[in-house]
Structure 1
Amino acid sequence: MTLSLRLPDGTGGLQSYQLTGTPVAHGTYQPATSRLAFAAAHVVSDPLADNSPGAPAVIDWEHTLGFRRHLWSLGLSVAEAMDTAQRGMGLDWPATQELIRRSAAEAPLRPTSPGSGAAEKQIAVGVGTDHLAAGVHGLDAVIAAYEEQLALAEEVGAQPILMASRALCASAGSPDDYRKVYDRLLGQSTRPVVLHWLGSMFDPALDGYWGSDSLDTAADVVVDLINENAGKVDGIKISLLDASKEIALRKRLPAGVRLYTGDDFNYPELIRGDGEHHSDALLGIFAAIAPAAAAALKALDDGELTKYDEIFAPTVPLARQIFSAPTYYYKTGIAFLAWLNGHQPGFGMVGGLQTGRSLPHLADTFRLADAAGVLTSPELAVDRFRRLLVVGGVDA
């Protein structure tokens, strides 16, 4: 069956496009054994609610949780209530609390080998300070805000991810201020946490995080913090879109502390590793390419490196498109693909963020998703995108 439609060509015109990709086979997978892999999941807005900019978030729970079940069925763990779920861009704290409780209640246990200890849930949750008003706060207020959210993560039995904080970035005057906050939180946590370093391309309000505009100086601060609290740090997730900076930091981590790549441009090589070091994964792009990610990780487990490379290679242009500048609108692309693949009934987002990308941008995303084999039901994807184009004034 030939599937085609007319798409914006980026020059103000239309061009006929015929789908050519073969969807990656969708199977059921066990969690990978060679790497830990988290997909940072988005939220589905309630189409009958007022999810306009500035309004309280109203979530479609059926499809939001259904998408998480989809990720778990592929052997992926879920990174919940992260920036992919629009923390600080439409998802408010009341909705975040309910999201964490509902998702953690459904999270399956990660299989363990005999003698490895108690099984853990396949979920980690974002712990931040986003319920504080914008602006400068005293460090004790920042700590208290973190503590409130940390208590919720521990209550639901999920691994905490100490998210980079806009409030801390606005309030800290030096690296010592960051150390004060993180030392206090790490001392209180009852289990090892994941630290979180989000670059300013993802959130301009985090520019200069860790107390320096120099990434190398900031890395020194992070390494010192981890070395002095290694027993309380499971790993650090960094999203700088710079493979060389990640590799350099990875080499400096103490034994047993993981580097979770958040590099949505260079993830295949970083996860594959160099034979001595590798990165685990905590990625928003994994939500968009979940079947491919699961198949690639299975190939890695089986030692089939050529197959691993072949599966991931066509997903990289798609990832670079979704995360292109302004990078913080990547969430729109994640929701767009979830809608095309039938995981949600409409292309809507809390805060009205579905308007964050243009029709030409989405058309390029569509082409690259086809080439990557991640349009799992091509007929549905064509039908849905054609209807969106028509609403936008395009005769598709």
Structure 2
Amino acid sequence: MAGSPVGQNLFFDTIDPLLRDFLSFLLSQPVVSQEALAETIEIIRLNQLAELDNFFGDICQIEFDSPITQEAEDVLIYTLLLPENSYEIMKFSDGFYQLVELGITGDCLKKAVLDWRKNLTDAFYGNYRPGSKNLYEILIKPIKIELELRNIKHIVFVQDSLLRNIPMSGLFNKDSQQYLIENYLISYSLDLGGSLLTTQPKNALILGSSEPTSTFPNALPGVLQETKLIQELIGGTRLINKSFTPKALENNLAQKDYEILHLASHSRFSGLSEEVKIQTGTEVLNLFEFDNLLNQRKASIKHLSLSACETASGSRYATLGVAGIGLRAGISSVLGSLWLADDKNSVEFFLSFYQSWLENNSVAKALQHAQKEQIEKNINPTNWANYILIS
């Protein structure tokens, strides 16, 4: 299956249901052994790789035998949405697995996810708080005690299905009156290798397109200030509007070893790879054109920020495009947005993010700092929870 693209229809109609039936059988046994949980994780990882292969339509050259690096205070949480029940499997740094039944069917959980995301993305009329509390009760409360006993500081979510399209940082604990990001570093992974950066940001290539186009009719006036302030803060090369051409991007990547690539322009990731669009200052790139540009500097780029990207809410494939671009190019981390937030707020957010990254040498801590700063200013989570960190 993995390493041999079969097409989305065949995958969803035949292969995926069979896998889920097998996992339902495996996890519904009276006693689920550590070996069975390890086998489940291996199936999840293979399934993630197969989905990635099918999304891109070719074999992704990824070192599958190299799972994500895990520190003592990290926990990997694998979610599974199955017909009769939903599960979380916690993997700790000592290699121990813990299975948690969530007591909700996959379809019911998907509906809760879609409803919450719809409310969360509507900054004016969306009543997001009930969904934030509800999903916290479903997904976090059953594991909260174990997280505290293990002194966990960083949660890495390996999400299933539509859970990929929501920000766990925005889940709200009604008892402590805090968002999840206030207590934990949060990142996401396909568990196909890689680790988050723990060095300062440097050697940045900063790209931006602020003008409206036929594909993206809304202007992004904040891009000019955002890119200017980031350049002043961490240095690097800045290409804006007409100077941000595909050829200029190609030439810059060929001539210099950039570690940071910051893209402040419209991009849209859907469930179909051929519908993915990335706006430059002069034209729109498709997924494969952008992927090819990044892969020419596979050993150089360590972090990619997509400050104005959008992902389709109803597709389990949408965020695979964001994650896959990073994995295929050997990029350690990708900071992307699930939906387009307030343009002016984005300037403040990314300035805080890079400033904190300079001070902490940790991209995960930088994201937490920027989001907590927004919370302290009582800014609606519509404008900060959309940013997710993928490794």
Interval containing the TM-score (normalised by the shorter chain): under 0.3
**TM-score normalised to structure 2 length:** 0.28
Bigger relative CO (Cα 8 Å, ≥ 6 apart): 1
